[in-house]
Structure 1
Amino acid sequence: RAVRSSCVGSVVGVHVRSNFSVAASNEGNAYPYELKWYSYSCGWLKSEEKDPTSFRENEKFIDELHAIIANHCQEDPELQLKAQNQGEGWVHVADKRKKVFPGRIPDPEDIFGSVSIENGEIIKDSYQRNHTHRLLTRDGPFKLPKHYLQSLDKKE
């Protein structure tokens, strides 16, 4: 039985944002709960504890998520603005689960990946996945920037 939340709340001990649900899992006794986002399986939980270290991420989902980001980051208006302002170097595709103040860099677990920029423009095919990003932290599940949500909606 799934529990769905349309606002920030708490389900199975983790903060849940809209379109996340927790349901019984088919992963056996070790991971009896599944964290779902829309129709996607993000991963599995061992228990009802609040500790995200009991969460096993779904690698297939993560790979698909990063493919979407890599394929659509050049058209991301927020990323384009960061690139124009910075000019050279790297800019991050940041998770929106926590507010980041201007001039600050998000925590590593809140950075999906980075893109290279030159002359204020995103370099094609430069997206580099950040392997320290976590789908679930003590601050709750990931929150994808709006631009990429539209791309996922088209896939479903």
Structure 2
Amino acid sequence: MFAARAIGRTARGLPKWTQFRSVSTLEGNPYIYVFPNAGPTAGSHILSLLPSEPVNPDLAIGVSSQLPPTTDSFRENPKFLDIVQEVCSEHAHEDPDAKSQAQVMVSMAGANLNSGGVLLSGQRQRGRKRRGEAGDSNSGASGQGGAGSGGRGGWIHVSDSRRPPDYGRIAWPEDMFGSLEVDSNGQFVGGNGNYQPSGTYRMVTRDGIFGLSPFLREKLVKKLRELETQKSS
């Protein structure tokens, strides 16, 4: 699902026969660009949210020895994850979907939401357990300090979009970027929700690779471009 595919890009001001060049992206993930790694790990692939060449390794998602990336082949860039957390801390409370989650949390006792930014009110349960774990290992948010504390406030969780949790449940720890605190009126505490990183997020799991909500991804790409400009100046 994540094999690399090539797309065409053009360079302005060049003759037509020289305008086309190939840029690879992960299939199913058109916002993740794939570049050959010419460094010490030649033969591997650098994954980035920026199409710029040469790739700045400090701003890349990470390196994978195969495509699609797997938990064994992928080596994440901890600097990139730090940037992700910085963006979440600054902007997660502005995400329209997070605002919707906050409002639903205080208005519906026992309601639970997909913290990646999509309400799960109409989603069917998948009936699939991860890694053979049974019972309530992925228990309802109301039992884990998440959404579902109608009229009392609580926490909503910012999580990866690669595997939305089942209805009435929260994301797995490895899919969770962090949490936002909401008061009894559905407003984010402290203005920014007192964002708390989870410390458990993994860039690649068996369910796929890194994926933010469209709103947060846009903010992240903007931040990466700013850092890219600073580092090249």
TM-score by length of 1: 0.79
Question: What is aligned with 2:19?
Answer: none
3-state DSSP class of the match of 1:132? coil
Query: C-alpha displacement at 1:22, in angstroms?
Result: 2.7
**SS of residue paired to 1:19:** strand
- C-alpha change, 1:30 and 1:131, in structure 2 (3 Å) is farther
Gaps of 5+ in 1: 9-16
Structure of higher RCO (CA pairs closer than 8 Å, 6+ residues apart): 1
Query: Kindly, what percent of the aligned residue pairs are identical?
Result: 32
Deviations 1:76-105 (A, max 9, x none): 121112222223121101111123333221
Does residue 82 of the first structure (1) align with residue 101 of the second (2)?
Answer: yes
SS at structure 2 position matched to 1:100:
coil
Deviates more, 1:43-52 or 1:121-130: 43-52
CA RMSD of aligned residues (A): 2.4
Is the CA contact (8 Å cut-off) linking 2:49 and 2:61 kept in structure 1?
yes
TM-superposed CA distance for 1:106, in Å, is 1.3
Q: 1:116 to 1:31 in 2, by over 3 A?
A: farther
Match of residue 128 from structure 1: 196
Q: What is the TM-score normalised by the length of structure 2?
A: 0.55
Q: Which residues of structure 2 form unaligned runs of 5+?
A: 1-21, 52-58, 107-152, 226-233
How much has 1:31 moved relative to structure 2? Answer: 8.1
Residues 69 and 209, structure 2, Cα contact 8 Å, conserved in 1: no
- Residue of structure 1 in register with 2:24 after alignment: 3
Say if 1:50 and 1:152 are closer, same or farther in 2 by CA, change over 3 A.
Answer: closer
Deviation at 1:48, TM superposition (A): 5.3
Counterpart of 2:37 in structure 1 is 25
Closer, same or farther: CA 50–144 of 1 in aligned 2, 3 Å: closer
Count of aligned pairs between the two proteins: 147
Q: Structure 1 residues 101, 49: CA separation in 2 closer, same or farther (over 3 Å shift)?
A: closer
- Matched-pair contact (CA < 8 Å) for 2:36–2:43: no
